Amino acid sequence: MSKFKRVILLILDACGIGELPDADLYGDSGSNTIANTAEKVGGLNLPNLEKLGLGCIHNIQGVKCLNSSRASYGKMAELSAGKDSTVGHWEICGLVSKKPFPVFPYGFPPELISKFEKLSGFQTIGNITASGTVIIEQLGDRHVKTGKLIIYTSADSVFQIAAHKDTVPLEKLYQVCRIARDMLTDDWGVSRVIARPFEGSSGNYIRTPERKDFSLPPPHETLLDKLNINGHNVVTIGKIHDLFANRGITRSYHTKSNLDGILTTLDIIDKYHDGLIFINLVDFDMLWGHRNDYRAFAKGLEQFDQHLPKILSALTPEDLLIITADHGCDPTTKSTDHSREYVPLLVYSGSLPKTTNLGIRKTFADIAQSVARNFDLQPFPVGTSFLSDLTDENDRDI
C-alpha cells in the first residue's frame, strides 16, 4: 500500500545551488546559480520557498533559514557524467549515465553533415557553435533566400536545425529532425536534435514556441516506465516528454513559458488524482541562464515563488510535492553553458508528521528510489529512498 496516491515532481530547470566537487573538470568552479544570482541582484524575495526551507540548503541573500520549515530540505549531487537536461532528468528517474554525450564545439564533422544533407535532401549553412538568436540574425536572410537549413550546436550535446516557417513548413522541419535523430548514434549520438522554427522578416527574426526536441531514448527502464507498466498515471508538463522520447508517459502537455507551465500544473492537479505529475519549467535555462540574464532569472524565481501558494493549496494530504532541478546554468559567470552543480531538494506534504534536513544526497536517483518505494515498485540499482526520513518509524506503509 502506498503512502501517497500522487507525487508532483517539479523541476526548476537549471536552478543549481552550488558547485559539485568535480566542477573544475567541467570548467564550472565557483558556479552557484541561485546564490550567485541572489548576490548579483542584491537579494531575492522568495518568502514561500523560504518557508519550505530553501534558505537552509545554502546561504542565499534575501532568503533566511527559518527555525522550522514547512518542507524537508537538502541537496543532491549528480552521479552521472555530464551536466545537461537529458542526463539530469534520466538520473532523477533512476538511470545513471556513466558516459557523457558527445559535444562538437568546433562544429560537426564534414562526413556527418554530408550524410545528413544526402538523407534529408537539404543543403545546410552554419555548422558552428552559436546562440540561437544570434545565428538567425546572421544567417536568416541567406536561409530564406536559398532554403538551406541552418545547422548549429552549443556547449551542450545538441544538433539544432533552424528554419523559417514560411521557407520550411513546421512538419517538414520536424521530419528532417527525425532523419537527423535516426542517423545520430554511437560516436555521433548527441543527446538531442532540436527543431528551432522562427518567423518574421529581415532584421526582425524571432524564434517561435514550436521548438521540438528529439532525444535519444533512455537505454534502460526509468521511473516513468515502471509507473506506466504498473498502471499508474504518468502526466508530464513541459519538455519532459522530449527528454524521454515520449516513453512511459500517459499524457503530455506542451507549454510556452514558465507561467504557462504553472497554470497548466494547477489545471492538471484538478484532473489527475493518482500517479506522477512531472513538470519542467524551462525558462530559467532556455531564456535566462544561457543568455546570462541574471535579472530576468531572479524575476523568474520570484514569479514562481508568488504562484507557489496556489500549488500548495491545490494539494491534498495524499499528495507529495518534490521540487528540485536538473543542473545549474549560472547566469552570473562568463560561461553560457550549463554548470555542474548540486540541485536543491524540497519535499512537502500536508500529511507528513515531521520535516527534516535530508542532507547531501549522493545521487539524483534518490528521488526515483523514493517514488518507486512509495508505489511499491521494484527498486532501482542506485539511489536511497528518503521516505523513511519523512515518516514515523512505525509507519509500515513505506
Q: What's the pLDDT score for residue 100?
A: 86
Q: What's the pLDDT score for residue 2?
A: 53
Same domain membership, residue 321 and residue 310: yes
Same domain membership, residue 116 and residue 85: no
Q: What's the pLDDT score for residue 41?
A: 98
Instruction: Give SS3 for 152.
Output: strand
Cell 502537455 found at: 253
Reported as a single tens digit per residue, the pLDDT across 274-283 is: 999 999 999 9
Same domain membership, residue 347 and residue 226: yes
Same domain membership, residue 318 and residue 289: yes
Domain boundary among 192, 215, 238: 215
Closest by CA to 347, choosing from 76, 84, 90, is 76
Same domain membership, residue 123 and residue 87: no
This prediction has a pTM of 0.91
Give the chain's largest Cα–Cα span.
71
Tell me whether residue 66 is in a domain. yes
Tell me whether residue 359 is in a domain. yes
Q: What's the pLDDT score for residue 205?
A: 97
Tell me whether residue 104 is in a domain. no
Per-residue model confidence as pLDDT tens for the chain (398 residues): 358 999 999 999 999 999 999 999 999 999 999 999 999 999 999 999 999 999 999 999 999 999 999 999 999 999 999 999 999 999 999 999 998 899 999 999 999 999 999 999 999 999 999 988 999 999 999 999 999 999 999 888 999 999 999 999 999 999 999 999 999 999 999 999 999 999 999 999 999 989 888 989 999 999 999 999 999 999 999 999 989 999 999 999 999 999 999 999 999 999 999 999 999 999 999 899 999 999 999 999 999 999 999 999 999 999 999 999 999 999 999 998 899 999 999 999 999 988 999 999 999 999 999 999 999 999 999 999 999 999 764 443 33
Same domain membership, residue 303 and residue 249: yes
Angle CA 244–249–255, to nearest 5: 75
Residue pair 247/224 in contact by the 8 Å Cβ criterion: yes
Same domain membership, residue 345 and residue 231: yes
Tell me whether residue 245 is in a domain. yes
Reported as a single tens digit per residue, the pLDDT across 271-306 is: 999 999 999 999 999 899 999 999 999 999 999 999
Same domain membership, residue 120 and residue 69: no
Q: What's the pLDDT score for residue 131?
A: 87
Distance (Å, rounded) from C-alpha 180 to C-alpha 134?
A: 23
Residue 86 neighbours by CB under 8 Å, 6+ apart: 101, 157, 191, 192, 215, 216, 243
Q: What's the pLDDT score for residue 3?
A: 86
Q: What residues pair up with 143 in beta bridges, in sequence order?
A: none
Domain boundary among 179, 199, 215: 215
Tell me whether residue 396 is in a domain. no
CATH number of the domain to which 304 belongs: 3.40.720.10
Same domain membership, residue 228 and residue 210: no
CATH number of the domain to which 155 belongs: 3.30.70.1250
Instruction: Please name the amino acid found at residue 164.
Output: H
The total number of structural domains that make up the chain = 2
Same domain membership, residue 171 and residue 132: yes
Alpha helices in 210-272 (DSSP H): 223-229, 240-243, 258-269
Mean pLDDT for the chain overall: 95
Same domain membership, residue 372 and residue 259: yes
Same domain membership, residue 246 and residue 277: yes
Domain that holds residue 206: 110-215
Tell me whether residue 1 is in a domain. no
Tell me whether residue 102 is in a domain. no
Domain boundary among 215, 247, 277: 215
Residue pair 214/242 in contact by the 8 Å Cβ criterion: yes
Angle CA 172–88–229, to nearest 5: 75
Tell me whether residue 103 is in a domain. no
Q: What's the pLDDT score for residue 397?
A: 37
